[in-house]
Amino acid sequence: MSTHATEDEATEDGAPQSGPAIRRATSEAMDVDTAVADIVAGIGRAPVALLLLFCSPSHPLAGVAAGIEDELPGIAIAGCTTAGEITPFGYRTGTVTAVAFSAPQFIATSRLIEPMSAFSFEEGHSLVRSLRQIHAEACSGRGGQTFALLVSDGLSMSEERLVSVLGDALDEIPLVGGSAGDDLMFRETRVLLGDVTRKDAAIVTLITTDLPFQVFQTQHFVSSSEKLVVTRADPTRRLVAEINAEPAAEEYARLIGLKTGDLTPPVFAARPLVVRAGGRDYVRSIQRVHGDGSLSFFCAIDEGIVMTVANSIDLVANLIDTFDGLKRAVGGRIEAVLGFDCVFRYLEMEQRQLLGTVSRLFIENRVIGFSTYGEQFGMMHVNQTFTGIAFGGGGE
């Protein structure tokens, strides 16, 4: 089966809604040639400053990118594997999804970071200095504002260092991004630049546009009053062996009223842990439970950290408020939202039968993106958030 979306086809009432500044497309075709044809038909052949490609691990990411390059010679492509895609039709899995930032409304300059796990402060500042200089030359004589986009290996366990170094080096330039996924298999996640995929790597891109935009991050969890302390951990592996001096999985299960054998990804999605820092709540999502009773996390964890089991607020109301605020911030109408949405949010919505409602909200607000293994915002790597950039204006 082949399904592709053009901008007109993606609207609910069938009426054209947007001009060519940001073009979105998706394909459910398993055959590479058909998927490529769908994406090219969806985005068209007008000049593109950057094509972002979000690809289910059931598709060959490099093969799809190479096919698009054959059809659109010289196109700049970056992307990653996913844990699900946010398409012009809402949440999907098993697709190839793309967003094209049109030239001349956008100017983009990308650089590869490899290996992520050995990325140093000095390397980060040197890379950003070079990237800013090259990007400034590309933007010579142009106005507009700039943001930084980061796509990283979601199994590298190195996002904290990476985003901290880049956020510091970028200074006033806002940074947002997402960690690649592999449909909750936790085997291999890959990022793409050109038609080459890599592990233990990231792609950072400076993007300048004359469209108004607003970076954002939102979540629907807050801290509770019952505290728990990490008493034994291996921070390099994001592994917690003991909580409150008890086996981690056993104590976590007790705190949420379950048995260790009941712990599954949907449970972790619904009952994450929260760290409070600087007056804000940051979710620490559990990735999986191990046979020895230890817990792996998606985010940095260390001995002595005090956490609470999170309390959920209304996810749908939170998103409605978020989109209302973004509309005001970008001038009243959203052209598109590039979104990085934690895969555990998807699991929770699936469990609570909210996927249809949230998909409709995403369609109305023209969201495109993917389900992640973590999100980056400023200098922070976080979990169970919806993070991204909303664009206004543009179109004809």
Residue range 347-363: average pLDDT? 96
- For 259, phi then psi, to 5°, come to -100, 160
Q: Inform me whether the pLDDT recorded for 8 exceeds 50.
A: no
- 3-class DSSP state for residue 51? strand
Reported confidence tier of residue 109, pLDDT bands at 50, 70, 90: very high
* Coil, helix or strand at residue 306: strand
104 upstream amide cis, omega within 30 of 0: yes
Residue of 79, 70, 103, 92 whose CA lies nearest to 26: 92
- Predicted pLDDT at 224: 82
Domain locations in the chain as residue ranges: 22-218+315-392, 221-311
User: Which token pair is 183?
Assistant: 């449909």
What is the pLDDT averaged over residues 186-192? 97
Would you state the structure tokens that stand for residue 257, as one six-digit string?
């009223």
Predicted pLDDT at 4: 54
What are the beta bridge partners of residue 312?
221
Angle of the 355-364 helix axis to the 343-351 helix axis, nearest 10: 130
Contacts for 151 with CB less than 8 Å, ≥ 6 apart: 52, 78, 79, 80, 177, 178, 180, 191, 202, 203
> Would you state the pLDDT for residue 142?
85
Instruction: Give mean pLDDT, residues 250-273.
Output: 92
pLDDT tens column, 233-253? 999 899 999 999 999 999 999
Residue 304, pLDDT above cutoff 70: yes
For 323, the enclosing helix (H) or strand (E) is: helix 315-329
Among 27-41, 129-143, 197-211, the minimum mean pLDDT is found in 129-143
The Cα–Cα gap between 344 and 357 comes to 17
First to last CA, the chain: 33
pLDDT average, residue stretch 363-383: 95
Give the range among 18-22, 103-107, 228-232, 387-391 with minimum mean pLDDT.
Answer: 18-22
Region of poorest pLDDT, from 20-24, 226-230, 280-284: 280-284
Which tens digit of pLDDT belongs to each residue from 29-74? 999 999 999 999 999 999 999 999 999 999 999 999 999 999 999 9
Question: Confidence band (pLDDT; 50, 70, 90) for 350?
Answer: very high
**Distance, CA of 297 to CA of 40 (rounded, Å):** 38
pLDDT value for 141? 80
- pLDDT score recorded for residue 225: 80
44, 19 in Cβ contact below 8 A?
Answer: no
Instruction: Provide the β-strand partners of residue 92.
Output: 85
Tell me: pLDDT of 1 over 50: no
Q: What is the pLDDT of residue 325?
A: 97
Q: With bands split at pLDDT 50, 70 and 90, how would you rate the model's confidence at 169?
A: very high
Give percent above pLDDT 90 in the chain: 84
Mean pLDDT of 213-242: 92
The CA distance from 19 to 64, in Å, is 26
Question: pTM of the predicted model, to two decimals?
Answer: 0.89
pLDDT of 342 over the 60 cut: yes
pLDDT (0 to 100) of residue 313: 87
Average pLDDT, the chain: 92
